[in-house]
Chains A and B, each alone.
Chain A
Amino acid sequence: MSRFPRLAAALALSLLPAAALAEGDVDAGERVFAKCKACHAVGDGAKNRVGPQLNDVFGRIAGTAEGFRYSPAMMKAGEDGLVWNEETLTAYLTAPRAFIKGNRMAFAGLKKDAEIDDVLAYLATFSQSGDDDAASAEPAPADAPDTATEDGAAAEPKAGEPEGAVVEAEAAAEPPAHGVFHLGRPATEAEVAAWDIDIRPDGAGLPVGSGTVLEGETVYTEQCAVCHGDFGEAIGRWPVLAGGYDTLTRERPVKTIGSYWPYLSTVYDYVRRAMPFGNARSLSDDDVYALTAYVLYLNDIVTDEAFELNQDNLATIRLPNEDGFVADDRYEEPHYAAGAEPCMRECKPGKAEIAQHAAVLDVTPDGDSDEDGSGGGID
């Protein structure tokens, strides 16, 4: 444990009760685990998903769930001796990113000690060794495939040894069956789950979860208002999120989620993949439901603060401008439809007169003015 100075610090901070596990409530823990279920499975037949399956997590060396592709940081932690038990899991769930810097779990952590106690009590029911006796755990390096036993030297790969070479040699012996060129390798389910985060208007791709307007307000205030403003009105040139109704035919259209966006799924998809700006993928799926609900509220599309958005009702909600889009018909415009040979001589009467100077606006960079252009931004 001496290789984990952060652990000692975390333990000191959290002042763990010695018998925390015993104090946890299994039923309450199952409810807490709802926050984990989008990524982690546990119980009969549990498979790796976005996160590793959690059967027998107690006593498991970090980074060793079979078949799961961990971050280098998590594998390093296991190699350095981190074993999951009551103490280490408590420290990890308190502050996942601080406990193992660079690990891929996007979850921000459980804020209440009781929630951690409960969820660990729940998880312990799926572990053979529910205590913190790390020494008894069998190392099961995930990256050592079954073939390792064929080669004495590879049977117990040591840190730093080229385990990849074993895999490659295996691949060379049996070329993949797919395709024409037989290049690349099949993606694992967990890999596809980790990256396949897109959502369609019909709801395809939505994760299980929910969030209310009120919950969304809290997340929004903490994470979003600094750029988008308290009411979605935007600070500076950051995107306006709310309002703008009946402005699309005006000289200055205000294109918001309420006034312009055709589908609510786009909000969920975009927030989940790219927001908050500079800290993408840091929100939980429930947070994204809550934020999406809150944005509906900011746009007066829902008016009840208790309104809950979830995987079942998101695709049923219609945005006002859904019918505001048409197919590309540029080539039916008169100037293209004409198709005539262009005029070459005396095409316009009189001498050309200047109708407008760019220099009058003077918004070209390096000029003396710092005024905004009148033509609008490009994003």
Chain B
Amino acid sequence: MPDQPSRRGFLKGGLAAGAALATATTAARAADDPAITEIQDWNRYAGPGVDAEPYGVPSPYEAHVVRRNVPWLTADPISSVNFTPLHELDGIITPNGLCFERHHAGIAEIDPAQHRLMINGMVDTPLVFTMADLMRFPRENHVYFLECAANSGMEWRGAQLNGCQYTHGMVHCVMYTGVKLRHLLEEAGIRAGAAWVMPEGADASAMSRSLPLEKALDDCLVAFKMNGEALRPGQGYPLRLVVPGWEGNLWVKWLRRIEIGDKPWHLREETSKYTDLLANGKARRFTWQMDVKSVITNPSPQAPVTHGRGRLVLAGLAWSGGGRISRVDVSIDGGRNWTTARLDGPSLPKALHRFYHAFDWDGSELFLQSRAIDENGFVQPTKNDLRAARGENSIYHNNGIQTWHVAKDGVVENVEIS
């Protein structure tokens, strides 16, 4: 396997490979394909046994499918973010090792035997649960997306990052196993007058947010598994809060305490951060829900078109914090004309939805866009709609329509268009 190439090298390499492939396809009528006519090593020699990898890992040919970070975004990788390689994935479930991570003081490495969850504040009996205690509550399984409020936040002032991994990769979607937060709060006994809860993490940032009690009692989970296995340390092992449809910062990892109160706390992450500054200098606060959004994952800048003209399959993701996606439209001419894409796979509320659109490419330049509509009738706005309403300093909650330019040679670029 070659080393991970640079982006440009990757693009050039991909195009060269595509050209070679096209030649091979054309030439196949005359020349035999050695991939078929020659006996391959893997067809002759026995491979590793079942004990080779007690915990399996991807093929070495998939070594480029990794999370990446953007070093200039933050002061230090210990308090930073990495991005899911959306352009390399399909379906709606994100593999655990590829789920983007955002930490505020690095990954807390917690011995689950020493982990405790405390419920205190306006309760009849402040309680402490061990992990073993939590396993004895009724368990539920739900597939939910988790999106950072700052996903696409670097694009407010214009096209900036070349790749949907960077423009949209602060989202992932897994199946969580956990217990209803409601059960835990009611076990302690919620006192009259309570209106807010404050989840808090055990990490060195003691991450904390204010959350309305109504949401806590509605669909929040305290989860210990993702995609069937224990949470990864970077996702809050052994315990995290799941706040379906709402911004990722609320999904407190390494959850150790939930306090119940009658007013919000106005903590650092809901005042100085995760507030949306508008053009008039005022800032919206408590902007929890993630809005209807979509992105074409293939082709995209990191996944150029390498096969030349002919059949081309667009693939993409759509999601809404308001519920299910009811429809996704795609445009290949920069929003002049739209066609409804095909949704495929499970359609679950507050989960990623997969869409496809196949057509015959004539080799001319394309301006690819996707536009999601959710079950409540909310239509994904354009980036300019959002700028007109909010200005360019919001950072958070950018769910504008993304444009990819596909050049005649198949190279794809993040652009803003007229």
* Contact, CB under 8 Å: B271 / A359: no
Given the interface pairs A328-B288, A343-B338, the reply to whether A374 lies near B275 with Cβ below 8 Å is no
A187, A330, A336, A352: the one within 8 Å of B120 (CB):
A187
* Contact, CB under 8 Å: B118 / A366: no
B147 at the interface (CB under 8 A from A): no
In the complex, how many residues of chain B place their beta carbon closer than 8 angstroms to a beta carbon of chain A?
A: 119
Once bound together, how far apart are the Cα atoms of A363 and B79, in whole Å?
Answer: 20
In the complex, how many residues of chain A place their beta carbon closer than 8 angstroms to a beta carbon of chain B?
A: 90
Report A58-99 residues with CB < 8 Å from chain B CB. Answer: none
Complex interface: chain A residues within 8 A of B273 (CB): 379
Contact digits for B292-322, partner A, Cβ 8 Å, 1 yes 0 no: 0000000001000000000000000000000
B6, B134, B267, B417: the one within 8 Å of A269 (CB):
B267
* Contact, CB under 8 Å: B136 / A277: no
Once bound together, how far apart are the Cα atoms of A306 and B272, in whole Å?
Answer: 28
A101 at the interface (CB under 8 A from B): no
B81, B208, B256, B338: the one within 8 Å of A347 (CB):
B338
* Contact, CB under 8 Å: A263 / B127: no
B43 at the interface (CB under 8 A from A): no
* Contact, CB under 8 Å: A358 / B105: no
* Contact, CB under 8 Å: A198 / B259: yes
- Give min CB distance, A110 to chain B, whole Å: 26
Once bound together, how far apart are the Cα atoms of A339 and B7, in whole Å?
Answer: 41
* Contact, CB under 8 Å: A183 / B265: no
* Contact, CB under 8 Å: A342 / B373: yes
A185 at the interface (CB under 8 A from B): yes
Given the interface pairs A178-B188, A183-B137, A237-B74, the reply to whether A346 lies near B268 with Cβ below 8 Å is no
* Contact, CB under 8 Å: B126 / A334: no
Report A149-203 residues with CB < 8 Å from chain B CB. Answer: 178-181, 183-187, 191-192, 195-202
* Contact, CB under 8 Å: A376 / B154: yes
* Contact, CB under 8 Å: B336 / A179: no
Once bound together, how far apart are the Cα atoms of A253 and B183, in whole Å?
Answer: 43
* Contact, CB under 8 Å: B162 / A324: no
Report A353-379 residues with CB < 8 Å from chain B CB. Answer: 353-359, 361, 363-368, 370-379
Given the interface pairs A181-B187, A187-B120, A335-B381, the reply to whether A202 lies near B263 with Cβ below 8 Å is yes
- Give min CB distance, B213 to chain A, whole Å: 16
Contact digits for A231-260, partner B, Cβ 8 Å, 1 yes 0 no: 000001111000000001101010101001
- Give min CB distance, B156 to chain A, whole Å: 6
* Contact, CB under 8 Å: B128 / A201: no
Complex interface: chain B residues within 8 A of A12 (CB): none
- Give min CB distance, A51 to chain B, whole Å: 18
Complex interface: chain B residues within 8 A of A348 (CB): 334-336
A-side interface mostly: loop
Given the interface pairs A353-B417, A379-B73, the reply to whether A344 lies near B259 with Cβ below 8 Å is no
Given the interface pairs A202-B263, A270-B268, A375-B157, the reply to whether A326 lies near B415 with Cβ below 8 Å is no
A301 at the interface (CB under 8 A from B): no
Residue of B nearest to A371 (CB): B72
Stretch with Cβ within 8 A of A (4 or more), from B16-24, B88-96, B278-286, B349-357: B278-286
A212 at the interface (CB under 8 A from B): no
Stretch with Cβ within 8 A of A (4 or more), from B53-61, B63-71, B224-232: B63-71
* Contact, CB under 8 Å: A355 / B271: no
* Contact, CB under 8 Å: A277 / B281: no
* Contact, CB under 8 Å: B259 / A196: yes
B101 at the interface (CB under 8 A from A): no
- Give min CB distance, B341 to chain A, whole Å: 12
* Contact, CB under 8 Å: B284 / A375: no
Given the interface pairs A327-B285, A347-B337, A364-B161, the reply to whether A358 lies near B189 with Cβ below 8 Å is no
Residue ranges of B at the interface with A (Cβ–Cβ < 8 Å): 6-8, 10, 68-76, 78-81, 104-105, 118-121, 124-130, 133-134, 136-137, 148, 150, 153-163, 166, 183, 186-189, 198, 200, 204-206, 208, 256-257, 259, 261, 263, 265-268, 271-273, 275, 277-288, 291, 301, 329, 333-339, 367, 371, 373, 377-379, 381-382, 385-386, 388-390, 392-393, 395, 397, 403, 405, 413-418
Residue ranges of A at the interface with B (Cβ–Cβ < 8 Å): 178-181, 183-187, 191-192, 195-202, 227, 236-239, 248-249, 251, 253, 255, 257, 260-263, 265-266, 269-270, 273-274, 277-278, 280, 324-331, 333-336, 339, 342-348, 350-359, 361, 363-368, 370-379
A-B contact pairs, 26 of them (CB 8 A): A185-B128, A191-B128, A198-B198, A198-B259, A198-B265, A200-B266, A237-B72, A262-B266, A274-B104, A277-B76, A327-B286, A335-B389, A336-B378, A342-B371, A347-B338, A352-B333, A352-B335, A352-B336, A353-B418, A365-B68, A366-B8, A366-B10, A375-B157, A375-B158, A377-B73, A378-B81
